Structure 1
């Protein structure tokens, strides 16, 4: 029961943070998003997550700072603000492949950043890096595919935004399920 409660809280915090971020930053292609937008988006997610982690980590603010560092790294390293970035290709198979690759890179980067916040809390902390990488690979792969299909069907950019929402939903649920085992 404890794990299911964490999963639900985590998923609501993560997905809710994404919805809030939509009020603060604009969705775009890689070249449209800068470090500031990645940082604001990352903080929009990390703050509600830290609220969920407040009873599970000695210093949940460290989660916020490492999240910020992770998103700044992703944008300055040229990978991009993956959670708010629409892939420029409309070729479906390339969307899947690029989505999985970018998702894996984003997940590894964020997982390593978060590892610094949780390493002293739990000996399983290194597993978070893998959990993050897999969840982001699945999330971006699935979300960018959904976005591409919806865009082709409707010719509306809103389809791409729905695809990003699917990405964040997948990431939120997957990390919530496995995070419940790590953040006891």
Structure 2
């Protein structure tokens, strides 16, 4: 196995695990009954997103430093966590907002498109601020990461949406979310792994 293949295998394994573990925070937060209404759950979910981002960032950077030892663990984790907060906040204020869902179709489509771009680009763009110091043409990571999250979230929605039904027990909702999250994590990790392998110096 070549060095690049070894890196790719480690990346997919560890990043899949990291995102799967990190996503448990939003899954559990979603399962917590919050009064007085759904809007009160937003801060809890944003905090859970912070945890998800930090865990994902830590698992990513522990693999990345095997090839790029100069990458800062602290900056990578903090940037990833901050980006996850942005992504979750935007998602909750648009796609998770009942008021937004009642907007006229043109306004909903326009704001939804902007929100989707922000969500998909946020993590890769934040990590670019650190990665650009260590690899040439690091901007490719932004596009690659966005593609990876498109694939991952697509898998999540394809699996979880038809399985989630009104009136289900909390444990079943959480179990479906966790299972779909694992598949999402693997898809995201595989795509980001392919992109990162191409960014790394050829040694």
Smaller-chain TM-score bracket:
0.7 to 0.9
- 2:145 corresponds to 1:132: yes
Q: Secondary structure in 2 aligned to 1:34?
A: helix
In 2, the alpha carbon distance for the partners of 1:130 and 1:150 equals 31
2:193 corresponding residue in structure 1: 176
Contact 1:20–1:44 at 8 Å: present in 2 too?
A: yes
Equivalents in 1 of 2:119, 2:64: separation in Å? 21
For residues 118 and 177 of structure 2, what CA distance do their matches in structure 1 show?
21
Partner of 1:94: none
Query: 1:109 deviation in Å?
Result: 0.7
Per-residue CA distance 1:44-95 (angstroms, 9 max, x = gap): 111121111113151332211211221122234x225xxxx99x99xxxxxx
Residues in 1 aligned to 2:24 and 2:159: alpha-carbon distance in whole angstroms:
22
Q: CA RMSD in A?
A: 3.1
Instruction: Structure 1: state its 5+ residue gaps.
Output: 90-100
CA separation of 1:103 and 1:165: change in aligned 2, threshold 3 A:
farther
2:61 aligned with 1:45: no
Question: CA–CA distance in 1 between the matches of 2:116 and 2:192?
Answer: 13
Say yes or no: does 1:58 pair with 2:58: no
CA distance in 1, matches of 2:192, 2:134: 17
Corresponding residue to 1:34 among 23, 26, 45? 45
Q: Which runs of 4+ in 1 moved over 4 A?
A: 22-25, 101-104
Q: Is the partner of 1:79 in helix, strand or coil?
A: helix
Residue 20 of structure 2 corresponds to 19
Number of residue equivalences: 168
Structure 2 unmatched ranges of 5 or more: 32-37, 102-112
Show the counterpart of 2:106. none
